[in-house]
Amino acid sequence: MATSMQKLVGVSQEDDEEEMEMDVKEEDDEDEENGEKQIAAQMMIGVDEVMPSTSSSDQFQYQPQLQEQVSNQSGGGGARRSRPLEEKERTKLRERHRRAITARILAGLRRHGNYNLRVRADINDVIAALAREAGWVVLPDGTTFPSRSQSSPAAGTSAGMTSSSSQMVSQQIPPPPATLQGVSSGYRTTVEYNACRMKGVFMPTPSPYDLSSTAPAQSLGVVADGGEQTERLPLIAGSTQVINDKQIIGLPTKLPERDFAGTSYVPVYVMLPLGVINMKCELADPDGLLKQLRVLKSINVDGVMVDCWWGIVEAHAPQEYNWNGYQRLFQMVRELKLKLQVVMSFHECGGNVGDDVCIPLPHWVAEIGRSNPEIFFTDREGRRNPECLSWEIDKERVLRGRTAVEVYFDYMRSFRVEFDEFFEDGIISMVEVGLGPCGELRYPSCPVKHGWRYPGIGEFQCYDQYMLKSLRKAAEMRGHSFWARGPDNAGSYNSQPHETGFFCDGGDYDGYYGRFFLNWYSQVLLNHGDRVLSLAKLAFDGTCITAKQLPGIHWWYKAASHAAELTAGYYNPCNRDGYTAIATMLQKHGAALSFSCAEHHILEQQDHLREALADPRGLVWQVLNAAWDVSIPIASENAFLCHDRVGYNTILDNVKPVNDPDGRHFSSFTYHRLSPLLMERQNFMEFERFVKRMHGEAVLDPQV
């Protein structure tokens, strides 16, 4: 058994001892070289200065003796140098002994603890592995912090894990005289820790899930190496002690978090990879997918979501549909007794953030676009965006004798007929209908392919001939035909509101022409959603439908104009509610609201959000209240990659609002998306815990 374990681990005790001896020899050579350099440096500095050593604590005790010997060098130097050489040998022996113990610890952890430790691991690797096992995050530079909200330890249990050095300090430092408690909106993310270059103690922002959130927030200055106070950061529940003019912070090992046991059951779906079906409409990796689906089923995930791509199914000719790959996929899902959410994806995939495959619009549509590029959205400079069709061809017969809405309806009806048995058996629980770029109900105002970068305000997309025709008609009906134009002072994709005459405070957006234009621009969006969803309701009668999703355009939300929302089609400046009209349109068709900003406000503390006057939390609650005011269900998915407990807790707090007087909650949540990273052991354990809490189950987690 021992032999097989050694082969599995890939290292033996003899290997450890050999590596240890090599390390000790290398360190001995370094000690000799450093010792010679140290003595020479002290002879040059003089007899009155004290030069601290960095090799070990024993050398601090040795420094006065060494300096005395150097200062009295008048003869017999060999005798006076004998004591330093003896001390150096004792230091080598102690180091060999320490490394021998380390080698045995590493060998034991590899064999019995299932720890993935490198061959030449040292005590830092051991401490890091144990800290990660206890639920902490250890960055490559050694910064360690609790990345997840952790509940208080039970009475009679150990409060946490400490290294030998921390135990030594705790014995020397008296108990702190007071405890400071505080809360703020959320933890700092890993990105912030990586970006931090400040020396000293770095405190994470307190968890928003601390139940004592009514306590006043307090902050503490972080002291750099030179004793200069560099920044004031909020404290989580803990204690401070002043030692040598520096503040030492005592952290609790665990923080309380909400208990979701007994709360409402919210189904959890997992979105499948974009390329799960290839361009031939075949399953790309059926065996690998089946294994992953079985793993998801083992933790009681309710189902999966999949895009049904228009560019794959109706790729070659109008009304020639190929559903073969989806038939096999749906059959696989049914055999595992999972449910399905399907997306009618009428846009291209590729070129946007997160797109890892390229799925264009149908070939025959692309051919029409080459001869008539006006069917695509167009910006002020005349640049076309072939990601989806312009909404003003919804009623124009430019697609081989059919209008755009007729094309969409024929596609949805074909799907309903092809998979009738899955609808009848309740396997397909919801149909999301794509309504724009990325499937979202918005204009393609921020195309990366045209140079847009966050936090640019984007540009209006109303310059194809069909949109201009609609604008001209609206201006004539208003009696001001000269208003049949787009704004000429709205900046470019990467402008900021104050740099433009249209979006600045008191700008043209709030003038007579501005209000006319923005009302028309947003009404085109509403009319498109209304037309397509009315046909979807007809095609999928009896099944829950929803618009694909509303994006969380949170940047410039605190600016008066809400510029980024205006260019996307949401007429939502500070003096107008732009989301109530959308919610009312969805209610008209019995559709749910799908929103992709469920965890945005976890990033509120980041500097780039503050500079962009972003308010993710405010946006979230405005949209949710608009939906709840008209009593429509809310489905959601995460906008950012999420594998940690803090992110999951933020989602849970939005999906199941605390102390809501009406007990409202989301109707479902879809995790974005299935990937090898999600299947990694630690990430999957966190996801399993998240699923249980979404289902209202009690979670017994020894790490909590």
Report how far residue 619's alpha carbon sits from residue 357's, in angstroms, rounded to the nearest whole number.
30
Angle (CA) 676-682-684 rounded to 5° is 55
Between CA 119 and CA 103 the distance in angstroms is 10
* Whether the Cβ atoms of residue 240 and residue 247 lie closer than 8 Å to each other: yes
> Residue 197 is which amino acid?
R
Query: What is d(CA 322, CA 319) in angstroms, rounded to the nearest whole number?
Result: 10
Phi-psi region of 200 (alpha: psi -120 to 50; beta: other; left: phi over 0): left
Helix or strand holding residue 646 (H, E) = helix 645-655
Tokens matching residue 505:
């405070």
- What amino acid is encoded at 339 in this protein? K
The C-alpha atoms of residue 116 and residue 110 are separated, in whole angstroms, by 7
CA-CA distance, 627 to 629, in Å (whole number)? Answer: 5
Q: Are strands 593-595 and 634-637 parallel, antiparallel or unpaired?
A: parallel
Amino acid at the residue 607: D
Q: Which amino acid is at 693?
A: R
Q: Is the dihedral of CA 38, 41, 45, 47 positive or negative?
A: positive
The three-point CA angle 658-664-667 to 5° equals 115
Distance CA 678, CA 401 (A): 46
Closest to 432 measured CA to CA, from 560, 304, 574: 304
Spatial neighbors of 681 by CB under 8 A, at least 6 apart, are none
The DSSP symbol for 323 reads -
The tokens 């990879």 sit on which residue? 273
Residue 704 to residue 701: CA distance in whole angstroms: 5
Q: Is 514 left (phi over 0), alpha (psi -120 to 50) or beta?
A: alpha
- If DSSP codes are grouped into helix, strand and coil, which group holds residue 304? strand
CA distance 80 to 69: 6
Peptide bond into 455 cis (omega under 30): yes
HSE at residue 107, side-chain half, CA atoms within 13 A, is: 18
As given in the structure block, the two tokens for residue 9 are 């681990």
Would you say 247 and 220 are in contact if contact means Cβ atoms under 8 Å apart? yes
Q: How many CB atoms lie within 10 A of CB 6?
A: 17
Angle value at C-alpha 455, between 447 and 512, nearest 5 degrees:
85
- Quick check: 73 and 80 in contact, CB under 8 A? yes
| Positive/negative CA dihedral, 27, 29, 30, 36 | positive
Which active-site residues does the annotation give? Answer: 440, 637
User: How many residues can be counted in the chain?
Assistant: 704
Q: Answer yes or no: are the C-beta atoms of 530 and 588 closer than 8 Å.
A: yes
The DSSP string of 249-311 is EEPPS-------TTS----EEEEPPTTSB-TTSSBS-HHHHHHHHHHHHHTT--EEEEEEEHH
Nearest to 160 by CA among 134, 187, 129, 128: 134
Cα separations (Å) of 105 from 18, 102, 168? Answer: 15, 5, 21
